[in-house]
Structure 1
Amino acid sequence: MVSRVIPVDPFDLVIFGGTGDLARRKILPGLFRRFCAGQMPDAARIIGAARSDMDTDAYRQMVSDAIDEFGGDLAKECDARDAFLKLIGYIAIDARGETGWADLQEAMKGKGRVEAYYFSVSPALFGDLAERLQQWGMADEDARIVVEKPFGRDLETARDLNATLAAYFDEHQIYRIDHYLGKETVQNLMAVRFGNMLFEPLWNSQYVDHIQITVAETVGVGGRGEYYDKSGAMRDMVQNHLMQLLCLIAMEPPARFDPDAVRDEKLKVIRALDPVESYEIVRGQYQAVPMEESEHPGYRTAVGDAKSRTESFLALKTHISNWRWAGTPFYLRTGKRMSARSSEITVVFKDTPHSIFAEDAGRHRNVLSIRLQPNEGITLGVTIKEPGPGGMRLIDVPLDMTFADALGEDGADHVDAYERLIMDVIRGNQTLFMRGDEVEAAWAWTDPIIEGWELRHDVPKPYDSGSDGPTDAFELMRRDGRDWREVSP
């Protein structure tokens, strides 16, 4: 089954930081795949903008090399590379100076089309770029800016960043991109919830025992040690990625599938979150396994700080104080150097109110598992009789919809999150992008948690690289009579 591709209107996309790692790994290969799929018009233009002194031919070669390295099989099979490279331009530019801005202004003059500016740079440069765009007359009503996380490091800096951007652009022009929201399965959360009569009547505390959200990574901090040690798992993952997943799984049905209607409901979830007590949170930090230390150093070695108290693992329990979810706990967990790479949302339903079967039939619950990566798909566990003689023995079997199987190898699961989100920017669809008040509300909930462990001088619990995290995280669940689902690829 091949997904239907709807072409977008002609546009100009300027990528500030166009020679950087994100542009090379994700943005440029993703745009090429969209071009190969027929979604990008031949009249589109992509302009790389960076400090590197190179001409357009050299930049096109860099783009071609990036496609070879990061484009995947679909890009390698596409014979439209020369046509795509003709859309590519380059301007050497200084974000804080005057170099290159006149050239960019001339290139963008009088086109009468969508103008998108992707800030693929450090957040410290967001204000400078926004100011320069206004000074040079490019922050007009047709302009849209795309900004990458982190959206601040606390409530105060998030407010400052929002105020800075708001000085030059209206909220409807600002696209705060979180690539997790571009994943096919994340969007399917809304389709599963609001497109099926089967689930919505059961989607509340009367029927749901608890919900788990896990984002596990096998990689360590790698070359991001300096950044990560100032952020940690809470700032890097929970405040944005896991928070957004929590909102989508818990929010009320919006009045319509409209950007502000959806984001209004997400905001209500964040504002209804209970504070997290110290005993409801577990922080961890991975350590090297002696036999693997040379290949996989421990966290403190990787970041170069033998006394670092930054967490690489976080597990917490929270509640949402509203009518739908009162009494239903939400367990969030994320970590680096864990046993498997897995992102999954698990909805565990309650026991039947009365079992007609004997005790030896066992305890069985319906579990809805939504896998975000890898092997995107949805599985619903259903209780049936075990085949064969010998009485009524119950077992759980999965009703499995793995997207690659259900939709075919040419299905929509080949579309990278960045591809989808960039095309949404061009269409002017902000549904999958965070609004400024969402960001601030998330930090307002997160800041007291961070301040709490800093005041207590908490030290993260050690856990072995390649494990499922510190043992205290399992106790967090077990004292409630529950268990984490196994982290499996």
Structure 2
Amino acid sequence: MVSRVIPVDPFDLVIFGGTGDLARRKILPGLYRRHLDGQMPDDARIIGAARGDMDTDGYRTFVESAVREFVSKKKCNPKVLKSFLERLRFVQLDATGKQGWTDLKDVVRQDIVQAFYFSVGPSLFGPIAERLHTHGIAGPTARIVVEKPFGHDEASARALNASLAKHFDEYQIYRIDHYLGKETVQNLMALRFGNMLFEPLWNAQYVDHIQITVAETVGVEGRGSYYDKSGAMRDMVQNHLMQLLCLTAMEPPSKFEPNAVRDEKLKIIRALDPVATDDIVRGQYRGNDDVASYLEDAETGASTTESFVAMKLQISNWRWNGTPFYLRTGKRMRGRMSEIVVRFKEPPHSIFDEDTGQSANELSIRLQPNEGMDLKVTIKEPGLGGMRLIDVPLDMTFADALGEEAADAPDAYERLIMDVIRGNQTLFMRGDEVEAAWAWTDPIIAGWQDRGDKPKLYDPFSTGPEEALMLLHKDGRRWREIRE
């Protein structure tokens, strides 16, 4: 299979926070890979903007080091890397002051695609947007990219949206969630809406329940001061898991077009029922001889912030009424795994004896690691001895099915940045979508704060608190196993 790389229009991409960790680890190495694959036109430029005492030559040295560290040696072609570095410029700039803005205006061109990546904290979004407008740097079709967190609650999200709206229209604002750039997430839409096989079964009549798990083996070390003010609910559920839920549950959009897709996602968020107190479990990981506890990682003597959350959700619409969605995410879990599991109902009548081993079909969509999908189906066990049934997976691991092309597929940031340049907002969140997600989340957080609930402790590298297992057990169901 031959990969089709479609070049984009000429552009100037300005990265505010161009020397920060996100730029060094993800944005700049990703842009190098797009350059390597021939997706960038010759006159595209990348402009780093930061407070650091650096010039363009110094910035090129910084970026070269980042590329060599975070791009495989196989792809670090010296000639290609040299030509990529020649695209780079650097402007020393104070995001909240006057320094550097005139210099930036002199560098950024007005007659091509302009994109401004706000790889900075949310407190700087408003000041940067204002200065881009005041200094006449951003043209009428300019695009800005903003990273999460998109607020801390509904009120702050509204305030953040309002501050950006003073200077940019909604069609110019790209709220980036890297989960939506994953190959498997987009394949979820292709699976549902491109195959007659699944869509007629994708409803409460045939689906018993759906599980969405995002498990991480790492703790919060290095992010403790941020994370302790956020927790798993704000850091993961309100955005990443919410987006996966919406794409799994939404109605077919009229077309694969940005606002049509986002309209359907918004309907799902607004159809979510409030979560009952006994349908949510919060946890916090302990320490042991080998790893620190959450309290040690967060450098706090006492904290009720959750590093794990599991919940049962109900969607009040015709498609899903009565079919529960179980969401789970946590730090210091047994394995690193992001997965959506669709568990279908058992046949209404079985012609086989109870001891034959028949079970329900299950579709698993793996986001990481080893992106792919498998469908568990029941077949007869080969051999003599009568009718014995076994489950076998119809496995499509992308790296196996599609070969080297899948292994070398662009990562999420690469894909999303190129979508910004193309002006395609399909995989980006709209302002009303963000506010609706917070409007659903806020009462849940306020509820456990008012009750004074404390998270349940769980062992590191486990599956979370025992109470999370009971969340499904009481419904006669089981979580899909988290693999090491």
| Fold-level similarity (TM above 0.5) | yes
What does residue 61 of structure 1 align with? 61
In 1: Cα distance, 2:74 partner to 2:439 partner: 42
**How many Å apart are 1:120 and its aligned residue?**
0.1
Identity of aligned residues (%): 70
**How many Å apart are 1:74 and its aligned residue?**
4.9
In 2: Cα distance, 1:383 partner to 1:404 partner: 25
What does residue 353 of structure 2 align with? 358
What does residue 466 of structure 1 align with? 461
Q: 1:58 to 1:152 in 2, by over 3 A?
A: same
- TM-superposition CA deviations, 1:115-162 (whole Å, max 9, x none): 000000000000000000000112321210000000001000000000
Q: 1:194 to 1:74 in 2, by over 3 A?
A: farther
Say if 2:160 is the partner of 1:161: yes
Contact persistence 2:114–2:138 (CA under 8 A): no
- Name the aligned partner's letter for residue 374 of structure 2: T
- Name the aligned partner's letter for residue 62 of structure 1: F
**Structure 2 residue matching 1:410: 3-state secondary structure:** helix
**How many Å apart are 1:114 and its aligned residue?**
0.4
CA RMSD between the two structures? 1.0
Contact persistence 1:371–1:378 (CA under 8 A): yes
What does residue 278 of structure 1 align with? 277
Say if 2:444 is the partner of 1:449: yes
In 2: Cα distance, 1:189 partner to 1:357 partner: 33
What does residue 24 of structure 1 align with? 24
- TM-superposition CA deviations, 1:287-308 (whole Å, max 9, x none): 112x31xxx2000011111210
Q: 1:440 to 1:403 in 2, by over 3 A?
A: same
What does residue 101 of structure 1 align with? 101
Contact persistence 2:114–2:139 (CA under 8 A): no
What does residue 406 of structure 2 align with? 411
Question: How many pairs are equivalent?
Answer: 484
What does residue 265 of structure 1 align with? 264
**Structure 2 residue matching 1:230: 3-state secondary structure:** coil
In 1: Cα distance, 2:188 partner to 2:324 partner: 19
In 1: Cα distance, 2:358 partner to 2:429 partner: 41
In 2: Cα distance, 1:75 partner to 1:272 partner: 46
Contact persistence 1:117–1:145 (CA under 8 A): yes
What does residue 173 of structure 1 align with? 172
What does residue 300 of structure 2 align with? 305
- TM-superposition CA deviations, 1:334-383 (whole Å, max 9, x none): 00000100000000000000000011112411000000000000000010
TM-score by length of 1: 0.98
**Structure 1 residue matching 2:236: 3-state secondary structure:** helix
**How many Å apart are 1:221 and its aligned residue?**
0.4
In 1: Cα distance, 2:221 partner to 2:427 partner: 29
**How many Å apart are 1:77 and its aligned residue?**
4.6
Identify which of 406, 416, 423 aligns with 2:418.
423
**Structure 2 residue matching 1:411: 3-state secondary structure:** helix
In 2: Cα distance, 1:174 partner to 1:412 partner: 31
Contact persistence 1:144–1:425 (CA under 8 A): yes
**How many Å apart are 1:73 and its aligned residue?**
4.2
Contact persistence 2:185–2:367 (CA under 8 A): yes
- Name the aligned partner's letter for residue 459 of structure 1: K
Identify which of 310, 315, 319 aligns with 1:320.
315
In 2: Cα distance, 1:256 partner to 1:77 partner: 40
Contact persistence 2:12–2:109 (CA under 8 A): no
Say if 2:119 is the partner of 1:120: yes
**Structure 2 residue matching 1:445: 3-state secondary structure:** helix
What does residue 196 of structure 1 align with? 195
Structure 1: tracts of 5 or more residues without a match:
none
In 1: Cα distance, 2:73 partner to 2:263 partner: 39
- Name the aligned partner's letter for residue 316 of structure 1: M
- TM-superposition CA deviations, 1:65-116 (whole Å, max 9, x none): 0001112345325740111000000000000111000000111244x11000
- TM-superposition CA deviations, 1:11-46 (whole Å, max 9, x none): 000000000000000000000000000111111010
Contact persistence 2:337–2:369 (CA under 8 A): yes
